Amino acid sequence: MTNPPVPCSVLTSTILVGDLVKLTTGDKIPADGLMFQGFNVRADEASLTGEAETVRKTPDGEPAFSRPLSHPRPALKLIVPCSLSIAGNAFLYSGCLISEGTGLMYVTAVGPKSQWGIIKEHLSERDEEPTPLQEKLEEVADLIGKVGLGVAIACFVVLTISWIAAGNYQYKEVRS
């Protein structure tokens, strides 16, 4: 199913590669893409890169096919229309915010193929080794568990002996 070519509001989960997305100030970018039209667009990429400053996005430059894309997935150059340009800083990344301006973006990647998806995949594959602090805390927790068990057994034995010594234990045989 393809989205209609007329402007309409859709859920971000229904956006597909090749869709055109209109972005305005305050919008969260729904997918990775190339901005091919825009006015005074600045993106806050702090959630992706950690940079505190906003990044100016410019659609100016050469047509997309005049040189290879510098995007991590160069195979996408086959689906990018010739009218798109990549000079300047035209890449928009999903999850980032448009801090000012308006623009049109051509969607190049969604879901696990977007930069967010790639980062999440790499983080989920990574085996995390415990830090020295976590190792020490685990040793302390084991020690506390063993000491607690020892104290509980000692209390049980002492209280059982004192109960028997106090004469509270009486054996009565029940006859039927």
pLDDT digits (tens, 9 = 90+) for 69-87: 344 444 444 344 444 445 4
C-alpha angle with apex 49: 113 to 69, nearest 5 degrees?
A: 50
Q: Is residue 159 part of a domain?
A: yes
Same domain, 138 and 103: no
Whole-angstrom CA distances from 124 to 49, 89, 117, 118, 128 are: 18, 29, 11, 10, 10
Q: Quote the pLDDT of residue 133.
A: 95
Question: Is residue 83 within 8 Å of residue 37, measured between CB atoms?
Answer: no
Q: Domain span at residue 21?
A: 12-125
Q: Which of 76-85, 89-98, 117-126 is the least confident region?
A: 76-85
Same domain, 65 and 135: no
Q: Is residue 93 part of a domain?
A: yes
Domain closes at, from 90, 110, 125: 125
Q: Where are the alpha helices (DSSP H) in 39-114?
A: 46-49
Same domain, 113 and 144: no
In this prediction, what percent of the chain has a pLDDT beyond 70? Answer: 78
C-alpha angle with apex 80: 76 to 85, nearest 5 degrees?
A: 115
The number of C-alpha atoms within 13 Å of 130 and in the hemisphere containing its C-beta is 8
Same domain, 63 and 85: yes
User: Per mean pLDDT, which of 30-39, 58-67, 72-81 is the most reliable?
Assistant: 30-39
Burial 78-116 (b: 16+ CB within 10 A, else e): eebeeebbbeebbbbbbbbbbbebebbbbbbbbeebbbb
Q: Is residue 5 part of a domain?
A: no
Whole-angstrom CA distances from 159 to 63, 69, 156 are: 87, 79, 5
CA-to-CA distance for 56 and 88, rounded, in angstroms?
9
Same domain, 118 and 133: no
pTM: 0.55
Q: Choose among 94, 90, 97: nearest CA to 62.
A: 90
